[in-house]
Amino acid sequence: MELAKGDFVVFITQDARPATEHWLDELIGPFHISDDVAAVYGKQLPHADCCPTVKRDVINHFRSFGPDSFVMLQKDHQRLTSDAERDAIAFLSDVNSAVRRSALQAVPFRDVPYAEDQALGRDLIKAGFIKAYAPQAAVIHSHSYPPRRYFARMYDEMRGLLTTTGRSIDTGLGRHVAIAVLNTLKDWRFIIRDADYSPATKVKWLVQAPVYNVARRVAVRLARKPELPGWAAWAMGRPRVSLLANDASPAART
């Protein structure tokens, strides 16, 4: 980014593929609405054969930002009081985004080990800039990890976000169980209705859906601990190490 000479810098991850030939035009277009638009992020579309837990999560996540026919502008407002509202307006993903170079010179990326895009989104909003969601600037991007790798991936994501932003989605044990059960039921309905999965694949995902959902909730809770327990390290296929030396003191996330 520091070497770039253009007015805008575009970020796309190595395994994302533009969904249409108009992707770049759609991603840059919102900058012309106002000079205060500092960043634009596009939609992500999951691969057709993606793990249904991930596939449904990607679809619902970007659906929450608004319909595909509108560009949505996001800025800070005094009436935004809940954490969920602030998380929504601060979301930014370098999987598929563009930033105004002059804004990055004023509000640079933080030097953090993880979730630098999420931190930048928060910092831009806090500085009074506008962020835009351009759903027509879509890329195809998702990951299908086996359960063990998914567990490790979720732990890394939750730990990284907690360290960088101070936010967590941890809750009481009973609520974790309820969320895992509810999301498993939603996954089962999604799997049965999704025509992209063959009958044999549907059976596999129906059996594994509870494992993915339990793994995610356990990862959320483990991310709050200063050290990864031995059983969890074994389940993830990694050594047990203390995290205190590398992490800033994490704040509680609701």
What is the domain-level CATH number for residue 77? 3.90.550.10
Same domain, 134 and 152: no
Amino acid, res. 34: S
Is residue 249 domain-resident?
A: no
Q: pLDDT band at 249, cuts 50/70/90?
A: very low
Same domain, 109 and 60: yes
The per-residue pLDDT for 83 is 66
The per-residue pLDDT for 252 is 32
Domain count, the chain: 2
Same domain, 97 and 31: yes
Q: Where a domain ends, among 102, 120, 140?
A: 140
Is residue 43 domain-resident?
A: yes
Is residue 254 domain-resident?
A: no
Is residue 245 domain-resident?
A: no
Is residue 63 domain-resident?
A: yes
The per-residue pLDDT for 103 is 94
Amino acid, res. 208: Q
Residue count of the chain, please give it: 254
Same domain, 18 and 114: yes
Which of left, alpha, beta for 128 (phi over 0: left; psi -120 to 50: alpha)?
Answer: left
Q: In whole angstroms, what separates CA 206 from the centre of its chain?
A: 24
- Residue 251 pLDDT exceeds 70: no
Is residue 3 domain-resident?
A: no
Same domain, 121 and 158: no
Same domain, 232 and 173: yes
Is residue 121 domain-resident?
A: yes
Q: Where a domain ends, among 89, 123, 140?
A: 140
Same domain, 136 and 158: no
Same domain, 38 and 90: yes
Same domain, 116 and 208: no
- Residue 146 pLDDT exceeds 50: yes
Is the distance from CB of 29 to CB of 71 less than 8 angstroms? yes
Same domain, 27 and 106: yes
Which long-range contacts link 218-223 to residues 24+ away (Cβ below 8 Å)? 218/151, 218/176, 219/151, 219/154, 219/155, 219/157, 219/158, 220/154, 220/158, 220/168, 220/169, 220/170, 220/176, 221/170, 221/176, 222/155, 222/158, 223/155, 223/158, 223/159, 223/162, 223/168, 223/170
Domain of 212? 147-236
Same domain, 134 and 154: no
Give phi and psi for 16, each to the nearest 5. Answer: -100, 140
Is the distance from CB of 166 to CB of 119 less than 8 angstroms? no
Is residue 243 domain-resident?
A: no
pTM: 0.84
Average pLDDT over residues 116-145: 94
Which is nearest to 121 in space by CA: 65, 181, 174?
65
Give the CA diameter of the chain.
Answer: 53
Which is nearest to 5 in space by CA: 90, 92, 101?
101
Same domain, 153 and 130: no
